[in-house]
Structure 1
Amino acid sequence: MTQLFPMHAIAIESRRRGQRLVGPIDLTLGGQGATVVIGPNGAGKTTLLQLLHGTARLSAGQIDWACTTEEARHHQGFVFQRPIMLRRTVLENLIYPLRLRGAPKDKARKAAREWAVRVGLEPLLGRAAPVLSGGEQQKLALARALICKPKLLFLDEPCAALDGRATREIEMILQTAKADGTRLILSTHDLGQARRLADDVLFLVGGRIHEAGRADTFFNQPETEEAQAFLRGDIVE
Protein backbone atom coordinates (compact mmCIF):
# COMPACT_ATOMS: atom_id res chain seq x y z
CA MET A 1 0.00 0.00 0.00
CA THR A 2 1.43 3.37 -1.06
CA GLN A 3 2.36 5.70 1.78
CA LEU A 4 2.75 9.38 0.96
CA PHE A 5 3.78 10.64 4.38
CA PRO A 6 5.80 12.05 5.93
CA MET A 7 6.35 14.68 3.26
CA HIS A 8 9.39 16.93 3.55
CA ALA A 9 9.70 20.24 1.70
CA ILE A 10 13.29 21.42 1.89
CA ALA A 11 14.18 25.06 1.16
CA ILE A 12 11.53 25.29 -1.59
CA GLU A 13 11.17 28.53 -3.52
CA SER A 14 9.12 29.95 -6.36
CA ARG A 15 10.51 32.85 -8.40
CA ARG A 16 9.04 34.66 -11.35
CA ARG A 17 10.92 37.24 -13.43
CA GLY A 18 13.54 37.49 -10.72
CA GLN A 19 11.00 38.11 -7.97
CA ARG A 20 10.64 35.60 -5.16
CA LEU A 21 6.97 34.74 -4.63
CA VAL A 22 7.39 32.01 -2.03
CA GLY A 23 10.23 30.71 0.08
CA PRO A 24 12.55 29.54 1.16
CA ILE A 25 10.24 27.21 3.08
CA ASP A 26 11.03 24.09 5.10
CA LEU A 27 8.00 22.00 5.97
CA THR A 28 7.18 18.51 7.17
CA LEU A 29 3.64 17.13 7.01
CA GLY A 30 2.24 13.92 8.42
CA GLY A 31 -0.63 11.86 7.15
CA GLN A 32 -3.55 12.87 9.37
CA GLY A 33 -6.00 15.74 9.60
CA ALA A 34 -6.35 19.11 7.90
CA THR A 35 -3.70 21.80 7.47
CA VAL A 36 -5.15 25.25 6.81
CA VAL A 37 -2.97 27.87 5.15
CA ILE A 38 -3.89 31.44 6.05
CA GLY A 39 -2.37 34.87 5.63
CA PRO A 40 -2.97 38.26 4.01
CA ASN A 41 -3.70 38.63 0.31
CA GLY A 42 -0.54 38.13 -1.73
CA ALA A 43 1.15 36.06 0.98
CA GLY A 44 1.70 33.15 -1.43
CA LYS A 45 -0.95 30.72 -0.22
CA THR A 46 -2.02 29.52 -3.66
CA THR A 47 1.54 29.28 -4.92
CA LEU A 48 2.57 27.19 -1.91
CA LEU A 49 -0.26 24.72 -2.53
CA GLN A 50 0.69 24.50 -6.21
CA LEU A 51 4.35 23.88 -5.35
CA LEU A 52 3.50 21.08 -2.95
CA HIS A 53 1.09 19.52 -5.44
CA GLY A 54 3.47 19.83 -8.36
CA THR A 55 1.38 22.12 -10.60
CA ALA A 56 3.94 24.91 -10.11
CA ARG A 57 7.62 24.38 -10.78
CA LEU A 58 10.14 24.73 -7.98
CA SER A 59 12.75 27.42 -8.56
CA ALA A 60 14.87 25.93 -5.77
CA GLY A 61 14.69 23.22 -3.13
CA GLN A 62 13.09 19.80 -3.21
CA ILE A 63 10.04 17.89 -2.01
CA ASP A 64 10.51 14.36 -0.72
CA TRP A 65 7.61 11.95 -0.27
CA ALA A 66 7.60 8.54 1.43
CA CYS A 67 7.21 7.10 -2.09
CA THR A 68 8.19 8.15 -5.60
CA THR A 69 6.99 11.54 -6.80
CA GLU A 70 4.99 9.83 -9.55
CA GLU A 71 3.15 7.66 -7.00
CA ALA A 72 2.55 10.65 -4.73
CA ARG A 73 0.93 12.67 -7.50
CA HIS A 74 -1.22 9.73 -8.52
CA HIS A 75 -2.76 9.71 -5.04
CA GLN A 76 -3.43 13.47 -4.88
CA GLY A 77 -6.21 15.78 -5.97
CA PHE A 78 -6.52 19.55 -6.32
CA VAL A 79 -9.69 21.66 -6.16
CA PHE A 80 -9.31 25.17 -7.51
CA GLN A 81 -10.96 28.34 -6.23
CA ARG A 82 -12.87 28.57 -9.50
CA PRO A 83 -13.91 25.02 -10.41
CA ILE A 84 -13.00 23.80 -13.88
CA MET A 85 -16.04 22.16 -15.44
CA LEU A 86 -15.95 19.86 -18.44
CA ARG A 87 -18.56 20.85 -21.03
CA ARG A 88 -20.48 17.70 -20.20
CA THR A 89 -23.23 16.62 -17.84
CA VAL A 90 -22.74 16.28 -14.10
CA LEU A 91 -22.76 12.51 -14.50
CA GLU A 92 -20.11 12.62 -17.24
CA ASN A 93 -17.95 14.96 -15.14
CA LEU A 94 -17.99 12.41 -12.32
CA ILE A 95 -17.33 9.45 -14.58
CA TYR A 96 -14.41 11.10 -16.38
CA PRO A 97 -11.60 10.78 -13.74
CA LEU A 98 -12.47 7.14 -13.09
CA ARG A 99 -12.38 6.29 -16.79
CA LEU A 100 -9.00 8.04 -17.05
CA ARG A 101 -7.72 5.62 -14.42
CA GLY A 102 -9.05 2.62 -16.31
CA ALA A 103 -12.24 1.90 -14.37
CA PRO A 104 -14.88 -0.09 -16.32
CA LYS A 105 -17.73 2.08 -17.58
CA ASP A 106 -20.42 0.37 -15.48
CA LYS A 107 -18.35 0.62 -12.31
CA ALA A 108 -17.55 4.29 -13.01
CA ARG A 109 -21.20 5.11 -13.62
CA LYS A 110 -22.27 3.40 -10.38
CA ALA A 111 -19.64 5.29 -8.36
CA ALA A 112 -20.64 8.56 -10.03
CA ARG A 113 -24.26 8.13 -9.01
CA GLU A 114 -23.26 7.25 -5.45
CA TRP A 115 -21.13 10.38 -5.16
CA ALA A 116 -23.87 12.54 -6.64
CA VAL A 117 -26.12 11.36 -3.81
CA ARG A 118 -23.41 12.03 -1.21
CA VAL A 119 -22.96 15.66 -2.27
CA GLY A 120 -26.61 16.39 -3.06
CA LEU A 121 -26.33 16.54 -6.84
CA GLU A 122 -28.41 13.49 -7.75
CA PRO A 123 -31.32 15.56 -9.20
CA LEU A 124 -28.82 17.35 -11.47
CA LEU A 125 -27.02 14.35 -13.00
CA GLY A 126 -28.28 15.11 -16.49
CA ARG A 127 -27.65 18.85 -16.34
CA ALA A 128 -24.71 20.49 -18.13
CA ALA A 129 -22.04 21.24 -15.52
CA PRO A 130 -21.18 24.76 -16.77
CA VAL A 131 -24.71 26.03 -16.04
CA LEU A 132 -24.70 24.96 -12.38
CA SER A 133 -24.61 27.55 -9.62
CA GLY A 134 -21.29 28.36 -7.95
CA GLY A 135 -22.06 26.18 -4.95
CA GLU A 136 -23.20 23.29 -7.13
CA GLN A 137 -20.05 23.53 -9.26
CA GLN A 138 -17.86 23.48 -6.16
CA LYS A 139 -19.66 20.40 -4.84
CA LEU A 140 -19.18 18.74 -8.22
CA ALA A 141 -15.48 19.65 -8.23
CA LEU A 142 -15.11 18.14 -4.76
CA ALA A 143 -16.96 14.97 -5.69
CA ARG A 144 -14.89 14.64 -8.86
CA ALA A 145 -11.71 14.88 -6.79
CA LEU A 146 -12.86 12.60 -3.98
CA ILE A 147 -14.35 9.91 -6.24
CA CYS A 148 -10.80 8.69 -6.92
CA LYS A 149 -10.22 8.26 -3.17
CA PRO A 150 -7.12 10.46 -2.92
CA LYS A 151 -4.83 10.14 0.05
CA LEU A 152 -4.19 13.89 -0.13
CA LEU A 153 -6.45 16.69 -1.35
CA PHE A 154 -5.36 20.29 -1.90
CA LEU A 155 -8.06 22.97 -1.93
CA ASP A 156 -7.50 26.61 -2.83
CA GLU A 157 -10.15 28.83 -1.20
CA PRO A 158 -12.85 26.17 -1.65
CA CYS A 159 -15.69 28.39 -0.40
CA ALA A 160 -14.71 31.77 -1.84
CA ALA A 161 -17.79 33.74 -2.91
CA LEU A 162 -20.21 31.05 -1.69
CA ASP A 163 -23.14 31.82 0.59
CA GLY A 164 -23.48 30.43 4.10
CA ARG A 165 -25.55 27.41 3.15
CA ALA A 166 -23.20 26.33 0.35
CA THR A 167 -20.20 26.87 2.62
CA ARG A 168 -21.76 24.69 5.33
CA GLU A 169 -22.42 21.91 2.80
CA ILE A 170 -18.87 22.06 1.44
CA GLU A 171 -17.42 21.94 4.95
CA MET A 172 -19.53 18.89 5.79
CA ILE A 173 -18.14 17.10 2.73
CA LEU A 174 -14.60 18.02 3.78
CA GLN A 175 -15.13 16.86 7.36
CA THR A 176 -16.43 13.52 6.07
CA ALA A 177 -13.48 13.17 3.70
CA LYS A 178 -11.08 13.86 6.57
CA ALA A 179 -12.85 11.31 8.78
CA ASP A 180 -12.53 8.78 5.94
CA GLY A 181 -8.75 9.27 5.91
CA THR A 182 -8.11 11.86 3.21
CA ARG A 183 -5.38 14.32 4.23
CA LEU A 184 -6.49 17.91 3.55
CA ILE A 185 -4.34 20.96 2.83
CA LEU A 186 -6.40 24.04 2.09
CA SER A 187 -6.10 27.79 1.93
CA THR A 188 -8.83 30.13 3.10
CA HIS A 189 -9.40 33.80 3.82
CA ASP A 190 -12.25 32.88 6.19
CA LEU A 191 -10.94 32.68 9.75
CA GLY A 192 -14.17 31.10 10.94
CA GLN A 193 -13.70 28.32 8.41
CA ALA A 194 -10.07 27.92 9.44
CA ARG A 195 -11.13 27.49 13.08
CA ARG A 196 -13.78 24.93 12.11
CA LEU A 197 -11.62 22.79 9.85
CA ALA A 198 -8.00 23.11 10.93
CA ASP A 199 -6.03 20.61 12.94
CA ASP A 200 -2.91 22.67 12.30
CA VAL A 201 -2.19 26.05 10.73
CA LEU A 202 0.43 27.57 8.45
CA PHE A 203 0.46 31.37 8.68
CA LEU A 204 2.14 32.95 5.65
CA VAL A 205 3.42 36.50 5.33
CA GLY A 206 5.47 37.65 2.36
CA GLY A 207 5.87 34.17 0.95
CA ARG A 208 7.34 32.73 4.15
CA ILE A 209 5.87 30.62 6.92
CA HIS A 210 5.71 33.16 9.71
CA GLU A 211 4.14 30.86 12.29
CA ALA A 212 3.01 27.24 12.31
CA GLY A 213 1.47 24.94 14.87
CA ARG A 214 -1.60 23.26 16.26
CA ALA A 215 -4.80 25.11 15.46
CA ASP A 216 -5.98 25.52 19.05
CA THR A 217 -2.63 26.99 20.10
CA PHE A 218 -2.40 29.31 17.11
CA PHE A 219 -5.89 30.74 17.48
CA ASN A 220 -5.79 31.06 21.27
CA GLN A 221 -2.14 31.96 21.88
CA PRO A 222 -0.43 33.17 18.69
CA GLU A 223 3.27 33.72 19.26
CA THR A 224 4.05 36.61 16.92
CA GLU A 225 2.74 40.16 16.76
CA GLU A 226 1.89 39.67 13.09
CA ALA A 227 -0.31 36.65 13.85
CA GLN A 228 -1.98 38.49 16.71
CA ALA A 229 -2.69 41.45 14.43
CA PHE A 230 -4.01 39.22 11.64
CA LEU A 231 -6.40 37.45 13.99
CA ARG A 232 -7.66 40.84 15.25
CA GLY A 233 -8.47 41.78 11.66
CA ASP A 234 -5.69 44.33 11.31
CA ILE A 235 -3.83 44.82 8.02
CA VAL A 236 -0.66 42.76 7.92
CA GLU A 237 1.94 43.27 5.19
Structure 2
Amino acid sequence: MLDAVDRTTAGERIIASKAAPRGLLPMEARGLTLAISGKRLVDAVDLDLNANSITMIMGPNGAGKSLLIRLLHGMITPTSGSITWSGEQLNEGMRRRQAMVFQRPVLLRRSVAANVDFVLSLRGPTDKAKRDHILEHVGLLEHAKQPARLLSGGEQQRLALARALALEPDVLFLDEPTASLDPASVLRIEQIVSSAHASGTKIIFITHDFGQAKRLAGDIVLMHRGGVLEHTPAEKFFEKPQTAKGVDFLAGRIVL
Protein backbone atom coordinates (compact mmCIF):
# COMPACT_ATOMS: atom_id res chain seq x y z
CA MET A 1 0.00 0.00 0.00
CA LEU A 2 3.01 2.27 0.01
CA ASP A 3 3.31 2.88 -3.72
CA ALA A 4 4.76 6.13 -5.01
CA VAL A 5 2.72 8.64 -7.00
CA ASP A 6 3.60 11.13 -9.68
CA ARG A 7 3.17 14.81 -8.92
CA THR A 8 2.84 17.75 -11.23
CA THR A 9 3.07 21.39 -10.18
CA ALA A 10 1.26 22.57 -7.07
CA GLY A 11 -1.60 24.05 -9.11
CA GLU A 12 -2.34 20.82 -10.97
CA ARG A 13 -4.12 17.67 -9.91
CA ILE A 14 -2.15 14.82 -8.41
CA ILE A 15 -1.96 11.86 -10.77
CA ALA A 16 -2.22 8.39 -9.25
CA SER A 17 -3.26 5.04 -10.64
CA LYS A 18 -6.20 3.56 -8.79
CA ALA A 19 -6.13 0.15 -7.16
CA ALA A 20 -9.26 -1.81 -6.38
CA PRO A 21 -10.89 -0.54 -3.17
CA ARG A 22 -10.82 -2.72 -0.09
CA GLY A 23 -13.89 -4.39 1.33
CA LEU A 24 -15.74 -1.80 3.46
CA LEU A 25 -17.42 0.11 0.63
CA PRO A 26 -20.14 1.09 0.00
CA MET A 27 -20.91 3.27 3.00
CA GLU A 28 -24.48 4.39 3.57
CA ALA A 29 -25.65 6.86 6.22
CA ARG A 30 -29.38 7.34 6.66
CA GLY A 31 -30.99 9.98 8.84
CA LEU A 32 -27.72 10.36 10.73
CA THR A 33 -28.31 12.78 13.59
CA LEU A 34 -26.32 13.96 16.59
CA ALA A 35 -28.12 16.17 19.08
CA ILE A 36 -26.60 17.66 22.22
CA SER A 37 -28.72 19.61 24.73
CA GLY A 38 -31.52 19.63 22.19
CA LYS A 39 -29.41 21.15 19.41
CA ARG A 40 -28.86 19.13 16.25
CA LEU A 41 -25.18 19.36 15.39
CA VAL A 42 -25.48 16.76 12.64
CA ASP A 43 -28.95 16.90 11.18
CA ALA A 44 -30.55 13.92 9.41
CA VAL A 45 -27.65 13.31 7.03
CA ASP A 46 -28.14 10.90 4.14
CA LEU A 47 -24.85 10.09 2.44
CA ASP A 48 -23.61 7.38 0.07
CA LEU A 49 -19.93 6.73 -0.56
CA ASN A 50 -19.50 4.09 -3.21
CA ALA A 51 -16.33 4.78 -5.15
CA ASN A 52 -12.70 4.60 -4.12
CA SER A 53 -12.29 8.33 -4.67
CA ILE A 54 -10.80 10.85 -2.30
CA THR A 55 -13.90 12.36 -0.73
CA MET A 56 -13.36 15.91 0.50
CA ILE A 57 -15.74 17.26 3.14
CA MET A 58 -15.98 21.04 3.03
CA GLY A 59 -18.03 23.80 4.62
CA PRO A 60 -17.75 26.70 7.05
CA ASN A 61 -16.50 26.31 10.62
CA GLY A 62 -19.14 24.72 12.81
CA ALA A 63 -20.91 23.00 9.91
CA GLY A 64 -20.52 19.55 11.52
CA LYS A 65 -17.69 18.18 9.38
CA SER A 66 -15.56 16.76 12.20
CA LEU A 67 -18.59 15.37 13.98
CA LEU A 68 -19.71 13.64 10.80
CA ILE A 69 -16.46 11.74 10.28
CA ARG A 70 -16.36 10.79 13.96
CA LEU A 71 -19.84 9.35 13.56
CA LEU A 72 -18.84 7.47 10.41
CA HIS A 73 -15.78 6.10 12.21
CA GLY A 74 -17.79 5.08 15.26
CA MET A 75 -15.91 7.35 17.69
CA ILE A 76 -19.22 8.84 18.83
CA THR A 77 -22.71 7.35 18.83
CA PRO A 78 -25.46 9.06 16.85
CA THR A 79 -28.66 10.18 18.52
CA SER A 80 -30.56 8.54 15.67
CA GLY A 81 -30.01 7.17 12.20
CA SER A 82 -27.87 4.38 10.83
CA ILE A 83 -24.43 3.77 9.31
CA THR A 84 -23.62 0.71 7.25
CA TRP A 85 -20.37 -0.33 5.63
CA SER A 86 -20.64 -2.95 2.91
CA GLY A 87 -24.24 -3.60 3.93
CA GLU A 88 -23.55 -4.21 7.63
CA GLN A 89 -24.12 -1.97 10.61
CA LEU A 90 -20.97 -0.24 11.84
CA ASN A 91 -19.28 -2.40 14.46
CA GLU A 92 -15.97 -2.71 16.29
CA GLY A 93 -14.55 -5.07 13.70
CA MET A 94 -15.14 -2.46 11.02
CA ARG A 95 -13.57 0.25 13.17
CA ARG A 96 -10.38 -1.81 13.34
CA ARG A 97 -10.25 -1.65 9.54
CA GLN A 98 -10.27 2.15 9.66
CA ALA A 99 -7.87 4.81 10.89
CA MET A 100 -8.03 8.53 11.62
CA VAL A 101 -5.51 11.37 11.59
CA PHE A 102 -6.39 14.59 13.39
CA GLN A 103 -5.45 18.21 12.81
CA ARG A 104 -3.13 18.04 15.82
CA PRO A 105 -1.03 14.86 15.73
CA VAL A 106 -1.68 12.39 18.53
CA LEU A 107 1.71 10.82 19.27
CA LEU A 108 3.31 8.84 22.07
CA ARG A 109 6.10 10.46 24.09
CA ARG A 110 8.55 7.97 22.64
CA SER A 111 10.90 7.78 19.68
CA VAL A 112 9.67 8.01 16.11
CA ALA A 113 10.31 4.29 15.61
CA ALA A 114 8.58 3.36 18.87
CA ASN A 115 5.45 5.22 17.78
CA VAL A 116 5.13 3.00 14.73
CA ASP A 117 6.20 -0.11 16.65
CA PHE A 118 3.34 0.45 19.09
CA VAL A 119 0.76 0.44 16.31
CA LEU A 120 2.29 -2.60 14.63
CA SER A 121 2.25 -4.46 17.96
CA LEU A 122 -1.54 -4.18 18.00
CA ARG A 123 -1.63 -6.59 15.05
CA GLY A 124 1.08 -9.01 16.18
CA PRO A 125 4.84 -9.19 16.73
CA THR A 126 6.66 -6.01 15.80
CA ASP A 127 7.99 -6.15 12.24
CA LYS A 128 11.02 -3.84 12.18
CA ALA A 129 11.48 -4.21 8.42
CA LYS A 130 7.90 -3.10 7.84
CA ARG A 131 8.33 -0.25 10.30
CA ASP A 132 11.43 0.98 8.53
CA HIS A 133 9.69 0.71 5.16
CA ILE A 134 6.80 2.84 6.41
CA LEU A 135 9.14 5.43 7.92
CA GLU A 136 11.15 5.58 4.71
CA HIS A 137 7.93 6.06 2.74
CA VAL A 138 6.97 9.12 4.81
CA GLY A 139 10.54 10.47 4.85
CA LEU A 140 11.27 9.88 8.53
CA LEU A 141 13.61 6.88 8.58
CA GLU A 142 16.62 9.08 9.37
CA HIS A 143 14.71 10.37 12.43
CA ALA A 144 13.77 6.88 13.70
CA LYS A 145 15.65 7.19 17.01
CA GLN A 146 14.67 10.81 17.65
CA PRO A 147 11.96 11.66 20.20
CA ALA A 148 8.71 12.31 18.35
CA ARG A 149 8.14 15.55 20.28
CA LEU A 150 11.28 17.06 18.69
CA LEU A 151 9.95 16.71 15.15
CA SER A 152 8.65 19.74 13.29
CA GLY A 153 4.91 20.17 12.84
CA GLY A 154 4.96 18.72 9.34
CA GLU A 155 7.15 15.81 10.43
CA GLN A 156 4.84 15.05 13.34
CA GLN A 157 1.89 14.92 10.98
CA ARG A 158 3.81 12.58 8.68
CA LEU A 159 4.49 10.35 11.69
CA ALA A 160 0.78 10.40 12.52
CA LEU A 161 0.12 9.28 8.94
CA ALA A 162 2.76 6.57 9.24
CA ARG A 163 1.03 5.23 12.34
CA ALA A 164 -2.31 5.21 10.54
CA LEU A 165 -0.89 3.52 7.44
CA ALA A 166 0.79 0.87 9.57
CA LEU A 167 -2.72 -0.43 10.26
CA GLU A 168 -3.28 -0.92 6.51
CA PRO A 169 -6.74 0.61 6.83
CA ASP A 170 -9.56 0.11 4.36
CA VAL A 171 -10.71 3.65 5.19
CA LEU A 172 -8.57 6.59 6.30
CA PHE A 173 -10.27 9.63 7.85
CA LEU A 174 -8.30 12.88 7.82
CA ASP A 175 -9.48 15.90 9.82
CA GLU A 176 -7.67 18.93 8.36
CA PRO A 177 -4.27 17.21 8.54
CA THR A 178 -2.45 20.05 6.78
CA ALA A 179 -3.91 23.04 8.62
CA SER A 180 -1.19 25.51 9.68
CA LEU A 181 1.58 23.67 7.82
CA ASP A 182 3.96 25.29 5.35
CA PRO A 183 3.37 24.66 1.62
CA ALA A 184 6.17 22.12 1.27
CA SER A 185 4.82 20.07 4.19
CA VAL A 186 1.30 20.28 2.77
CA LEU A 187 2.39 18.89 -0.58
CA ARG A 188 4.42 16.11 1.06
CA ILE A 189 1.40 14.99 3.06
CA GLU A 190 -0.83 15.20 -0.01
CA GLN A 191 1.61 12.89 -1.80
CA ILE A 192 1.42 10.33 1.01
CA VAL A 193 -2.37 10.51 1.09
CA SER A 194 -2.62 10.14 -2.68
CA SER A 195 -0.33 7.12 -2.53
CA ALA A 196 -2.57 5.45 0.06
CA HIS A 197 -5.58 6.14 -2.13
CA ALA A 198 -3.81 4.72 -5.19
CA SER A 199 -3.19 1.47 -3.31
CA GLY A 200 -6.89 1.00 -2.49
CA THR A 201 -7.58 2.91 0.73
CA LYS A 202 -10.76 4.98 0.78
CA ILE A 203 -9.87 8.54 1.84
CA ILE A 204 -12.36 10.83 3.61
CA PHE A 205 -10.66 14.19 4.09
CA ILE A 206 -11.83 17.44 5.70
CA THR A 207 -10.30 20.58 4.26
CA HIS A 208 -10.88 24.34 4.02
CA ASP A 209 -8.32 24.66 1.23
CA PHE A 210 -9.92 25.03 -2.21
CA GLY A 211 -6.60 24.43 -3.95
CA GLN A 212 -6.07 21.23 -2.01
CA ALA A 213 -9.56 20.01 -2.87
CA LYS A 214 -8.97 20.74 -6.56
CA ARG A 215 -5.69 18.81 -6.47
CA LEU A 216 -6.94 15.76 -4.59
CA ALA A 217 -10.71 15.39 -4.54
CA GLY A 218 -12.73 12.97 -6.60
CA ASP A 219 -15.97 14.10 -4.96
CA ILE A 220 -17.02 16.92 -2.66
CA VAL A 221 -19.42 16.79 0.28
CA LEU A 222 -20.50 20.32 1.19
CA MET A 223 -21.92 20.73 4.70
CA HIS A 224 -23.83 23.61 6.27
CA ARG A 225 -25.55 23.77 9.65
CA GLY A 226 -25.15 20.06 10.27
CA GLY A 227 -26.59 18.93 6.95
CA VAL A 228 -25.26 17.94 3.55
CA LEU A 229 -26.00 20.60 0.95
CA GLU A 230 -24.29 18.89 -1.97
CA HIS A 231 -22.44 15.71 -2.81
CA THR A 232 -21.06 15.87 -6.32
CA PRO A 233 -17.95 15.12 -8.39
CA ALA A 234 -15.23 17.64 -7.61
CA GLU A 235 -14.88 19.03 -11.12
CA LYS A 236 -18.61 19.68 -11.36
CA PHE A 237 -18.68 21.28 -7.93
CA PHE A 238 -15.95 23.76 -8.72
CA GLU A 239 -17.34 24.46 -12.18
CA LYS A 240 -21.00 24.85 -11.23
CA PRO A 241 -22.29 24.14 -7.70
CA GLN A 242 -25.80 22.67 -7.51
CA THR A 243 -27.10 25.10 -4.89
CA ALA A 244 -27.07 28.84 -4.26
CA LYS A 245 -25.26 28.23 -0.97
CA GLY A 246 -22.63 26.26 -2.87
CA VAL A 247 -22.06 29.27 -5.10
CA ASP A 248 -21.84 31.49 -2.01
CA PHE A 249 -19.39 29.09 -0.37
CA LEU A 250 -16.99 29.20 -3.32
CA ALA A 251 -17.29 32.99 -3.36
CA GLY A 252 -16.45 33.20 0.35
CA ARG A 253 -19.91 34.48 1.30
CA ILE A 254 -21.37 31.53 3.18
CA VAL A 255 -21.19 31.54 6.98
CA LEU A 256 -22.69 29.25 9.59
Give, as a single letter, the amino acid of the residue that structure 1 aligns with 2:109: R
Between 36-45 and 11-20, the greater mean CA deviation after superposition: 11-20
Q: Secondary structure at the match of 2:34?
A: strand
- Encode CA deviations 1:150-201: one digit per residue, 9 max, x unaligned: 1100000010000000000000001111111110001011111111111001
How far is the alpha carbon of 1:3 from its aligned partner? 2.1
Q: Confirm or deny: 8 A CA contact 1:211 1:223 kept in the other structure.
A: yes
Q: Which amino acid aligns with 2:76?
A: A
2:70 equivalent among 32, 50, 62: 50
Q: Deviations over 1:180-231 (max 9, x none)?
A: 1110001011111111111001000101001111111111011111111111
Check whether the contact 1:6–1:30 (CA below 8 A) recurs between aligned residues. Answer: yes
Matched residue, 1:70: 92
1:79 aligned partner: 101
Q: What corresponds to 2:206 in structure 1?
A: 187
CA distance in 2: counterparts of 1:224 and 1:7, whole angstroms: 24
Partner of 1:117: 136
Q: Counterpart amino acid of 2:24?
A: L
Aligned AA for 1:81?
A: Q
Aligned residues: 233
* 2:191 aligned residue: 172
Q: Counterpart amino acid of 1:233? A: G
Give the CA deviation at 1:33.
1.4
| TM-score with structure 2 setting the length | 0.88
Aligned partner letter, 1:52: L
Question: Relative to structure 2, which stretch is displaced further, 10-19 or 163-172?
Answer: 10-19
Contact 2:55 2:204 (8 Å CA) reproduced: yes
SS of 1:9's equivalent? strand
For 1:198 and 1:225, how far apart are their aligned partners in 2? Answer: 21
2:245–2:254 Cα contact (<8 Å) kept: no
Q: 5 Å matches for 1:147-166?
A: 147-166=166-185
* CA distance in 2: counterparts of 1:117 and 1:146, whole angstroms: 13
Long gaps (5+) in structure 1: none
- Secondary structure of residue in 2 paired with 1:162: coil
Q: Give percent identity, aligned residues only.
A: 44
State the AA in 2 paired with 1:101. R
Whether the 8 Å contact between 2:54 and 2:203 is mirrored in structure 1 is yes
The residue type paired with residue 7 of structure 1 is M
TM-score by length of 1: 0.95
Distance 2:158 2:35 in 1: 33
Q: Do the aligned partners of 1:229 and 1:236 also contact (CA within 8 Å) in 2?
A: no
Q: Secondary structure at the match of 1:213?
A: strand
Q: Using the alignment, how far apart are the partners of 2:105 and 2:92 within structure 1?
A: 24
Partner in structure 2 of residue 3 of structure 1:
23
Is the contact made by 1:4 and 1:31 (CA closer than 8 Å) also made in structure 2? no
| Alignment partners' CA distance in 2, 1:138 and 1:15 | 31
Give the letter aligned to residue 218 of structure 1: F
2:151 aligned with 1:132, yes or no?
yes
**What is the rounded CA distance, in whole Å, between the counterparts of 1:70 and 1:182 in structure 2?**
19
CA distance in 2, matches of 1:174, 1:141: 12
Match of 2:247 in 1: 228
d(CA) in 2 for partners of 1:233 and 1:155?
23
- Contact 1:15–1:21 under 8 Å retained in 2: yes
Deviation at 1:31, TM superposition (A): 4.3
Paired position in structure 2 for 1:88: 110
Residue 229 of structure 2 corresponds to residue 210 of structure 1: yes
Q: C-alpha root-mean-square deviation of aligned residues, in Å?
A: 1.2
Contact 1:35 1:198 in 2 (8 A): yes
